Structure formats: C-alpha cells, structure tokens
C-alpha cells in the first residue's frame, strides 16, 4: 500500500508536466495543418484547394475516396492552404483575400499579428511561459510580447499559431493583409524598401505573354493568344459552370446559397441576355430561356433530387472573329439530367449541346500605360440532340 501511495504521489507531481508537454505537442502539430474554417467557426483539415472565380473546390484530408467538394467563396471564413498562404473572406470586396506570408520575398520574417491589428516584423528567438522573445527587424532591438496580446504568429517557414478564436483571427488577418504583402526580406538584412503591392493578384483576367511562341489567333497588334490558351481558359469556364449547375440543382443547397450561385454563374456569360436551350424526351419542342431564368427554373424543379452532370467535353472548335471584334468558338458536351422522387429515378435524359465561348479583349491603364488584356466568357448554349 505504501508503494502504491508513493506511485500516486509521483504521478500527481508529474501530471502538470504531462499536461504541458501534451499542450506543447498539440500546438506544434496545429502549426503545420492546412485547414479550412467555415463562417460558424467549424474547421476541417484539407489536402487540396482550388479557387475559381466564385467557387472553391477542396478535398478533405484523410478522405480515402478523394471526393471533391464545391462551395462558394462566401462560405469560407478563413483557410490556410498551402502552408505559407492564408485566405480570408472580405465582405467589403465580396471576395477571398489571399496573402502569401512565407513566399520567396518575405520568408525571412516571422510576423506577429497583435491585438491592435498591427504586424511586428520579427525574428523569434524563443517562446516561453506565454511570452514571445524576438528581435524587432525594424529597430534591430530585442523585444518581447505576451501571447495574450497576439491574434496569431505567421512563421517564416509557413507554419502558424493562433492565440484567439478563428473568427477574431480572420478579422485581424483581413485588416493586416496589405501590411503583410508590403513586407520584404530586406527587413531581415536591415535594408528596408517599400514594396509595390499588386492589388489585382486575385483577378481572373489573363495577361498574355507577347514573347511566347506559337500562332496568334488574334489580329496583328493584339495580345499574343495561342489556341491552346483560349481552349484552356474556355474549358475552365465550362467546368466552373457545371459546378454551379450542380449547386443550383441540389435540393440540399440553401435557398440563399442557390441564389448566390445563380449570380455567380450569370457572371460567367458575356451578358445576362445569353440563351439556354432546353429539351425533353417528352416533347418535340426545344424551349429557350435567358440564362438567369433558366437557373431559376432549375432551382425550382419539382423533384426531390436533381442531378446534372457533363461529360465528353470537346476542345474549342470553329474559332472565328465576329463583327463586334470578339473571337468566338464552340465547345461540345454531353449533359446528363436525372430527376428523383422518393429516392426513385423518374426522369433522365442525355443531351448533346453546343456552347459558344467568347474571347474578349479590353484595355486597362496601369501607371498611365495602356495594356490590352483578354478573358473568356460564355455565350448561348444550344441543343443538338436529346436521347
């Protein structure tokens, strides 16, 4: 009994140390996670994430099936992916703000995000008993700050540590994004210089490389655009529309989110007057709807479950210049529609469709200099055959 009491006393003395070691290990593990936070502060570890114009596609870590999930940008509060880059949703910009905090230009700087929503450029020497000891890279002097006065540490190697709730951290990162973008490794050497910020880094517009090789499909004097580039951009927009169609048709999508998906899908088209042709095995007449009307009808179809998928998507063909100066092509695809009631498939068809894709150029002035840029939009979508 005496030896048992002694063992219990030893265990009680060791318990605080065990708890501390467990907390430290948990903290170190958390620093290297690629994670996505939803607006209700739920989080999930992710192994991939792709940001499109309005939609984000991601895979959950340790998912053996490797399933992809699609959500609107507004459904993300904050994400760390890949390590060294964070993304936070900005209500003001109605978009995700992405910041590389451990890139080749600033990966010699530890960044301390304070409760005053400022960023300290630092070289951390150690963290002990709730205090961060560091060298202030602007002043060159040693300093310290309590972790209770920090929202987050963004380490130079891409790891991170949060010291507040996820929603508070996200708000702080939104505020300090430009400050972090403006940091340069010259701070670490004492040769500080201002960095010009590219505030359009999240744009989906493509600037062409006039020095690239290959045949230019545009007129002389226009940006050099190869057919492969046009095809790649057109197919990406086509796939993005398919993702929106699935989201709009899914009866599990909340009404507000479906409306947001409709707004985002309409933006993929050259204008809201574009037409979608709709066919059915039960009628011989092909109906035509303006694109927004089509999306609204798709959302309200009287099935318990609706599934829309595309396959056999072809490359762009029949590229030509229109009278409006834009360049047009055709993408052919197979659309499968399935409608379910009480879990049973009650209607299905497969329709071959031709989708018009449009390459449009426009001028933009950057520091007084005109640049001609280009992007691809969708046009009318017509029915070829329904089976």
Yes or no: say if 290 and 266 are a contact pair by the CB < 8 Å rule: no
DSSP string of 112-147, one letter each residue: EEETTS-EEEEEEEEEETTEEEEEETTT--EEEEEG
Strand spans (E) along the chain: 35-37, 43-51, 55-60, 68-72, 78-80, 85-90, 95-100, 110-114, 119-128, 131-136, 142-146, 150-154, 160-162, 275-280, 283-290, 305-311, 317-321, 327-341, 344-366, 369-386
Yes or no: say if 89 and 76 are a contact pair by the CB < 8 Å rule: yes
The pLDDT value given to residue 365: 67
The pLDDT value given to residue 315: 73
Nearest Cα neighbor of 218 from 360, 93, 367, 339 is 360
The pLDDT value given to residue 66: 80
**pLDDT, tens digit (0-9, with 9 covering 90-100), for 86-99:** 999 998 888 899 99
The pLDDT value given to residue 379: 92
Average pLDDT along the chain, 387 residues, taken 10 residues at a time: 48 50 41 88 90 87 85 93 92 88 87 94 89 90 93 92 92 92 77 37 36 54 73 85 87 87 91 91 90 92 85 80 86 89 91 90 68 86 88
DSSP state of 219: P
The pLDDT value given to residue 296: 93
The full length of the chain comes to: 387
Phi, psi for residue 44 in degrees, rounded to 5: -145, 140
Nearest Cα neighbor of 238 from 69, 368, 126, 377 is 377
The pLDDT value given to residue 13: 55
Q: What angle do CA 245, 251, 252 make, to 5 degrees?
A: 105
The pLDDT value given to residue 18: 47
The pLDDT value given to residue 173: 96
């Amino acid at each position: 009994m005496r030896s048992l009491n002694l063992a219990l006393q030893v265990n009680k003395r060791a318990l605080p140390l065990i708890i501390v070691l467990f907390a430290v290990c948990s903290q170190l593990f958390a620093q290297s996670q690629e994670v996505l936070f939803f607006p209700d502060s739920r989080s999930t570890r992710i192994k991939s994430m792709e940001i499109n114009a309005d939609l984000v596609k991601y895979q959950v870590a340790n998912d053996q099936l490797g399933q992809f999930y699609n959500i609107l940008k507004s459904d993300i509060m904050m994400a760390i992916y890949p390590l060294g880059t964070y993304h936070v949703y900005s209500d003001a910009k109605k978009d995700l703000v992405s910041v590389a905090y451990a890139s080749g230009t600033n990966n010699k700087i530890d960044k301390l995000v304070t409760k005053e929503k400022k960023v300290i450029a630092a070289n951390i020497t150690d963290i002990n008993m709730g205090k961060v000891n560091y060298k202030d890279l602007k002043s060159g002097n040693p300093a310290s700050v309590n972790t209770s006065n920090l929202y987050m540490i963004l380490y130079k190697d891409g790891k991170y540590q949060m010291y507040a709730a996820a929603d508070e951290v996200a708000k702080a990162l939104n505020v300090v994004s430009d400050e972090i973008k403006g940091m340069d490794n010259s701070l670490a050497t004492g040769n500080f210089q201002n960095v010009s910020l590219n505030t359009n880094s999240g744009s989906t517009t493509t600037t062409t490389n006039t020095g690239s090789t290959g045949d230019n499909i545009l007129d002389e004097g226009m940006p050099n655009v190869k057919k492969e580039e046009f095809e790649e951009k057109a197919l990406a927009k086509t796939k993005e529309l398919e993702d929106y169609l699935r989201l709009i048709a899914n009866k599990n999508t909340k009404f507000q989110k479906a409306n947001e998906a409709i707004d985002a899908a309409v933006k993929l088209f050259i204008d809201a007057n574009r037409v979608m042709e709709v066919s059915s095995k039960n009628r011989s007449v092909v109906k035509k709807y303006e694109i927004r009307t089509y999306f609204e009808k798709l959302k309200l179809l009287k099935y318990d479950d609706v599934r829309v998928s595309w396959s056999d998507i072809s490359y762009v063909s029949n590229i030509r210049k229109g009278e409006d100066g834009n360049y047009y092509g055709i993408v052919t695809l197979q659309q499968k529609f399935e409608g379910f009631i009480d879990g049973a498939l009650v209607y299905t068809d497969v329709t071959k469709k031709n989708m018009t894709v449009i390459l449009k150029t426009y001028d933009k002035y950057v520091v007084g200099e005109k640049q001609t840029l280009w992007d691809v939009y969708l046009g009318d979508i017509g029915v070829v055959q329904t089976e």
